[in-house]
Amino acid sequence: MKLKYNITLLLIAASLAACNDWLDIAPKDKVLEDKLYSSEDNIYSATNGLYRELTGEHLYGGQLSQTTLDVMGHLYTYPFLRPSEGDQSMPFYALAHFEYTNDNVKSRFANVWKKSYEALLHINTYIKNVEASQGIIPDKTKKILLGEAYGLRAYIHFDLFRIFGPVYINRTSAKILPYNNWPEVLVNQNEEKTYSTADEYIALLQSDLAKAIQLLEGNDPVIDDANSISNDLRNDNFFQNRNRRMNYYAVKGLEARVLQYIGKETEAAAAAAVVTDQIGQRFKWVDLNGNNFRKQYNFIMFSEVIFGINSLDMYSRAKTWYEGTDLRTGYVVDYNNLLKNILQYTGNTLNSMIDVRAWQWSPSKVVSSSAGYSLEGTYISYKYSTNASDLEIAAIKEFQPLMRLSEMCYIQAEAALNAGNKAIAVDILNSVLAHRGLTVANLLPDDVSEAAVREHLEREYYREFFGEGQVFFYHKRLGSSSMFKGYDEGRDPVTSLDSYVVPIPEAEKNI
């Protein structure tokens, strides 16, 4: 595999006695690696390390959630005219226009590639050592941990495919990406052998999903233990807080994502239904009346999250991204894009909207009159920057959702719509709206057109998944010919399916 970066094996704990620490130091030899997996606590420490790595700013602590991918999905504003190359707003313009030759854009995706494959190498080394361990951890525990690791490996690979791979309906038989399921770094002459075609890559991914399901099914406490998902992090039980880990239902949700992406919608809906069948049990719609929802500002809607990660730098990063005063560098949402494209409800003020998702938005500090775009103002979300003192559940402050109930509903609704069952699709979509505060008068009517249902579904991805990186992937899956303008009301064309394909970093191609 062409992984020309400085591999660091993050595989020993800062203190082998402290199970929550993770050390950014490479082990010097096999003895240190063996020592890491020599006790139950050490294995738990290595497990935590895998999740900690995902919270980095170049992975799900930033670029693959709240920043880069959402600029590409046209959530944030960007100049409508090309700025000069040296202008601070140029990266936003380039990302929004899919201009991958810009140096800032190339650097972003080089880091995504590097950190993703580093994380995969660590997961592979973890799998090898945990599988080889004998008598150190109970067999059931071993299966759970390995199931999580196989699920994480599939999760990262799928996002690499959705970034660097082709639009699936436009795939060819060319070798496109390496599916990294080995624990060693390969020398250059063997690297080309590791690249797979799109179909080979997806087959390997599905194999990992099947392995994860086999290991977790019947073993994961999330299946039988009603208390396995908690909003309280002050718990010494390593297998509590399962929606902060790659649990059984998260793997089924990922399976649904993959199947939908490759056009197997009936199977995708069935996998998604395994998750939504747990509504009211393991996962619950947020209670809009309980604990004063508006006061809590629980826009993460924690009880609906199937899988997320604790990111200890999330609050400080969010303040940097959203609370600046310079339009050229701030991740802010244009007034017209928010009110007229995304929310598009009766009334021209957020406070007049009964959809609770509108309540997260507030005017930004940006002064935009001199920039020539977003002249009517911009908004920021408090989904990720609410201070813990405003929350009864302080743990939500540092929680990055990566998969939620509503997406499983949308997968089933789209499958029904494409199968000609518009009424079923409308019922599913209306059930989500009802849990966002909308009354009967505001729901989709029975006689709504199919085109209007599809437009509604698109808007739901924007309303629901801000800061979760899913909007760009939604458009790439469909090969959308246009997106909302990020800087105004209306739409901008996407001129080619190639716009959705991020080039593999030059460092990988140039040996």
CATH number at residue 422: 1.25.40.390
Q: What interhelical angle do 405-418 and 248-261 show, nearest 10?
A: 30
Q: Where are the alpha helices (DSSP H) in 262-313?
A: 265-276, 293-296
Q: What are phi and psi of 279, to 5 degrees?
A: -60, 130
Q: Is the per-residue pLDDT at 469 higher than 50?
A: yes
Helix (H, G, I), strand (E, B) or coil at 72: helix
Q: Which two tokens stand for residue 338?
A: 């928010």
Q: Strand 175-178 relative to strand 195-197: parallel, antiparallel, unpaired?
A: antiparallel
Question: Is residue 426 one of the residues assigned to a domain?
Answer: yes
CA distances from 118 to 3, 18, 181, 428, 508 (A): 9, 23, 12, 39, 14
Q: Is the per-residue pLDDT at 11 higher than 70?
A: no
Q: Give bridge partners of residue 420 from the DSSP assignment.
A: none
- In 39-170, which ranges are E strands? none
The pLDDT-based confidence of 35 (bands split at 50, 70, 90) is confident
Q: Is the per-residue pLDDT at 10 higher than 50?
A: no
Query: Of 492, 488, 493, 494, which is closest to residue 340 (Cα–Cα)?
Result: 488
Q: Is the per-residue pLDDT at 258 higher than 70?
A: yes
The pLDDT-based confidence of 241 (bands split at 50, 70, 90) is confident
Question: Is residue 13 one of the residues assigned to a domain?
Answer: no
Question: Is residue 8 one of the residues assigned to a domain?
Answer: no
Q: Which two tokens stand for residue 44?
A: 């738990």
Question: Is residue 7 one of the residues assigned to a domain?
Answer: no
Give Dmax (Cα) for the chain.
68
Question: Is residue 10 one of the residues assigned to a domain?
Answer: no
What pLDDT is stored for residue 231 in this prediction? 72
Q: What is the CA radius of gyration of the chain?
A: 22
The pLDDT-based confidence of 347 (bands split at 50, 70, 90) is low
**pLDDT averaged over every residue in the chain:** 88
Query: Of 411, 394, 434, which is closest to residue 302 (Cα–Cα)?
Result: 394
Total structural domains within the chain: 1
- Please name the residue that has the structure tokens 């990302």: 95
Q: Per residue in 140-176, pLDDT tens?
A: 999 999 999 999 999 999 999 999 999 999 999 999 9
**How many DSSP H helices and E strands does the chain contain?**
18, 9
CA distances from 42 to 175, 253, 313 (A): 38, 29, 24
Q: Which two tokens stand for residue 413?
A: 């609704």
Q: Per residue in 108-126, pLDDT tens?
A: 999 999 999 999 999 999 9
First to last CA, the chain: 11
Q: Give bridge partners of residue 310 from the DSSP assignment.
A: 399
Distance CA(480)–CA(491), nearest Å, equals 11
Strand order in the sheet with 333-334: 333-334, 378-381, 361-363
More confident residue, 231 or 357: 357
Distance CA(75)–CA(97), nearest Å, equals 13
Question: Is residue 116 one of the residues assigned to a domain?
Answer: yes
Identify the domain containing residue 96 by its residue range.
30-509
- In 325-413, which ranges are E strands? 333-334, 361-363, 378-381, 399-404
Q: What interhelical angle do 198-216 and 139-164 show, nearest 10?
A: 160
Whether 457 and 449 have beta carbons less than 8 Å apart is answered as: no
Q: Is the per-residue pLDDT at 393 higher than 80?
A: no
Q: Which two tokens stand for residue 19?
A: 């199970």
What pLDDT is stored for residue 345 in this prediction? 75
Q: Is the per-residue pLDDT at 198 higher than 70?
A: yes
Question: Is residue 98 one of the residues assigned to a domain?
Answer: yes
Q: Which two tokens stand for residue 489?
A: 């009301």
Q: Which two tokens stand for residue 457?
A: 């579904």
Question: Is residue 24 one of the residues assigned to a domain?
Answer: no
Whether 276 and 230 have beta carbons less than 8 Å apart is answered as: no
